[in-house]
Amino acid sequence: MKILVYMGHPAHFHLLKNPVRELEKKGHRVIVLIQKKDILEDLLRGSGFTYRNILAGGRKDTKLGLAIGMIKRDTRLLRLCLKEKPKPDIMIGTSIELPHIGKLLRIPTINLNEDDCQAVPLYCKLSYPLSSVILVPKSCDTGKWEKKTIHYDGYHELAYLHPHVFQPQKEVVEKQLSPEGAYFILRFAKLTAHHDAGKTGITTEIAREIIKRLTPHGRVFITSQRVLEPEFEPYRIPLNPVDMHHALYYAGMYLGDSQTMTAEAAVLGTPALRFNDFVGKLGYLEELEHKYGLTYGIKTSQPERLFEKIDELLKIKDRKQVWQQRRQKMLEDKIDVTAFLVWFIENYPKSAEEIKSFCGGSRGAVFSKRAPLAAGGKKTNMNNKKIILVAGARPNFMKIAPLLHEMKNHPGIEPVLVHTGQHYDENMSERFFRELEILEPGINLGVGSDSHAVQTARIMEEFEKVCLEEKPDAVLVVGDVNSTAACTLVASKLRIITIHYEAGLRSRDKSMPEEINRLVTDAISDLFFTTSKDASENLIKEGHPKENIFMKGNLMIDTLVRNLEKAESIDMIFETKAASHEKIRLGEDFIPGQYGVLTFHRPTNVDQKEDLEKLGDIWTEVSEKIPLVFPVHPRTWKNILAFGLDKRMRSYPRLFLIEPVGYLHFIRLMRYAKFVLTDSGGIQEETTYLHIPCLTIRPSTERPVTVWEGSNKLIKVDDIMAELDLILQGKGKTGKVPRFWDGRSAGRIVEVLLEELVDI
């Protein structure tokens, strides 16, 4: 398929860059045309795009100049299309010229816009009548052209700023801006487009007052499309335009007269103030303001209200955290715009017909999360397939969370979260529902702790009752705890489709209860999701059909990516287990990059006094070289007390024994550690993604990819000091990130579920 994409503004580049890349990956040929304007070419070059400029010269910002420019572009676009053999199959863009040429050459044209007709009447009059379809956000009013309009429940800005496609990088901001504390971004738009005629925004006097009010609270940076007055030059932001969204995410506040950057700040969760003459005329910004409280629009006739709102926002405690919570609510409502655009373009005109059919052929049909289409655009025909997701232990929640978030986007799936209660400590369970934004499970078996046999039996007995009452179409289990094997046995005997995520992992060590659980679970499951190639190969060797095995990525990494930046906003203060119950703080008692993290809970390491005592001696020796932070697992602390080792371990001045911490606290601890010393499984994966050296005190691992490719090393207790010396010399293993460990695994897994369960 040959696709012509037209960009006339930097905002168009951001909207279309990810869909273009995805379409090219799928084998389509994409021709990018631009109308040279401001930093558009810089953005294209900086991102490695090939493009053609059909307006090499400048233009005069008068009505006559605009008309002449449009005629020139019409002519050049026509010539280019006539030269293309074969001609493009479809044309996409936000442009007056594109529908003209599309109509003339009988090429379907998708008109992308987000501005209401009352704000851009000339654009609508000149382009909408000749467009094949008008594709706009749900909040956009296309006036009398609603009949050929298809709305989607999202915003242009989500095509490039949704967490699925954009992860802010603090180091990018720190390297270029070197902000010491809070900072604010002030934006001056050019206001010379045809729809800007007669409009005003932030004047010199108002800019002075804004800077005066903000300066006591942080540094002010200005980004400007128009020529900057000399007095404002010291405030010019020293930033590569490609990195603007990283700076916008971390800003304490955004203020400007630009529509696009206001919306960008809002969808990034940054408090945004817009000051121009378009207030009240743009549906998407009105929705972001009045439905989600992410932005405020103030008319140019009310400068005093602008100043009052600035002062009001500056007084809000935890302002950024409040806005991030509002952002999360917005994200839960909206679709994945990139996936939608790719599907719509690739399947047009059938895609438009399907949406209109679902909406009963109504005017202004809307694609939303309720539409019976998968994120990738495949029709599922699923009728509320009920899937029970089982969580029993702390790592299970971290794997299930991204699946629950993704399943919200698909009305064909009805997820039911069952918590077996295998971990009953508040620090190890309920806390995670809050931090991972998972609703309290409707079903909690409350089995508690006991021997393997008793606990497994209790889970089976209680879970069978759940299955008989809920009558699920499938049961999805994760990991390798007792709950995993027990619930798989129940579902299999009831002839319910059983799905195992994290299948195929093998340590070859049957002394580990987890290995037995893995073998039992995989032996009787129906569908398998693996995190690495070796896991898939293990399943094939064990006789499972290739068509039932899917390597789609690592859900632990999805959760890690989703929460890394959120973790930056929390207080890192911990109460130690020292007799005085003193508190320690990251940045004071232990410095980022200058401490290690310990986690130990395996029976082979902590259930025998001799083993635990030997480890304690090593921890002491290590802490003499570098501080150690040790969130102590309840099992480990119970044994430390039973063996009478608590007084001794509490006496080590640089071995900080603390209570088990929440997920957000732990990933931040891990992110800034010099190394991690552990016997855990999941931590081997997280440190690999973070490129943190990981020393695992085990003879084998079920996650060998973290050793072959990642930052993990399997070592003996006696080798700890030698490995530590290498790390302290800067020679620690950092490795690379395995395939599909990109934070987008849940989307791929749910897509498979939609296809595999459709005929059940």
Binned at pLDDT 50, 70 and 90, residue 382 comes out as very low
Buried/exposed 748-757: b ≥16 CB within 10 Å, e otherwise: bbbbebbebb
Each residue's pLDDT tens digit, 339-363: 889 999 999 999 888 888 777 655 5
Each residue's pLDDT tens digit, 116-168: 888 888 889 989 999 999 999 988 888 889 888 999 999 999 999 988 788 88
H helices then E strands: how many in the chain?
A: 31, 28
Each residue's pLDDT tens digit, 576-633: 887 656 888 888 888 999 999 999 988 889 999 999 999 999 999 999 999 999 999 8
Comparing 195-204, 234-243, 268-277, which segment has the lowest mean pLDDT? 195-204
Each residue's pLDDT tens digit, 12-48: 899 999 999 989 988 999 999 887 656 788 888 888 8
Comparing 57-66, 519-528, 563-572, which segment has the lowest mean pLDDT? 57-66
* pLDDT computed for residue 383 by the predictor: 56
Label residue 318 exposed, middle or buried (CB < 10 Å: 0-12, 13-18, 19+): exposed
Comparing 61-65, 486-490, 569-573, 653-657, which segment has the lowest mean pLDDT? 61-65
Comparing 69-73, 452-456, 649-653, which segment has the lowest mean pLDDT? 69-73
What average pLDDT does this structure show over 397-402?
92
If residue 152 lies in a helix (H) or strand (E), which one and from where to where? strand 149-152
Residue % of the chain over a pLDDT of 90: 56
370: left (phi over 0), alpha (psi -120 to 50) or beta: alpha
Please indicate whether the domains covering 170-333 and 381-554+744-756 agree at the CATH topology level: yes
Statement: residue 713 has pLDDT above 90: yes
* pLDDT computed for residue 377 by the predictor: 40
* pLDDT computed for residue 435 by the predictor: 76
- Among 738, 566, 750, 520, which residue's Cα sits nearest to residue 666? 566
What average pLDDT does this structure show over 693-697?
96
Which of 328-337, 434-443, 513-522: highest mean pLDDT? 513-522
* pLDDT computed for residue 355 by the predictor: 85
Statement: residue 433 has pLDDT above 80: no
Statement: residue 374 has pLDDT above 50: no
* pLDDT computed for residue 733 by the predictor: 95
- Which fold would CATH assign to domain 381-554+744-756? Rossmann fold (3.40.50)
- Which fold would CATH assign to domain 2-161? Rossmann fold (3.40.50)
Domain boundaries, the chain: 2-161, 170-333, 381-554+744-756, 566-728
Binned at pLDDT 50, 70 and 90, residue 480 comes out as very high
Higher pLDDT, 149 or 380: 149
What average pLDDT does this structure show over 215-244?
92
What average pLDDT does this structure show over 380-384?
51
β-bridge pairing 2-7 and 365-367: unpaired
213 DSSP 8-state letter: H
Binned at pLDDT 50, 70 and 90, residue 525 comes out as very high
| Active site positions, annotated | 601
Q: Choose which CATH entry (3.40.190.10, 3.40.50.2000, 1.10.10.10, 3.30.70.100) describes domain 170-333.
A: 3.40.50.2000
What average pLDDT does this structure show over 669-676?
96
Statement: residue 407 has pLDDT above 70: yes
What average pLDDT does this structure show over 711-724?
95
Q: Could you write out the DSSP letters of every residue in 236-278?
A: B----GGGHHHHHHH-SEEEES-HHHHHHHHHHT--EEEESTT
- Indicate the CATH number for domain 566-728: 3.40.50.2000
**Mean pLDDT value across the chain:** 88
Residue pair 377/343 in contact by the 8 Å Cβ criterion? yes
Neighbours of 174 (CB within 10 A): 12
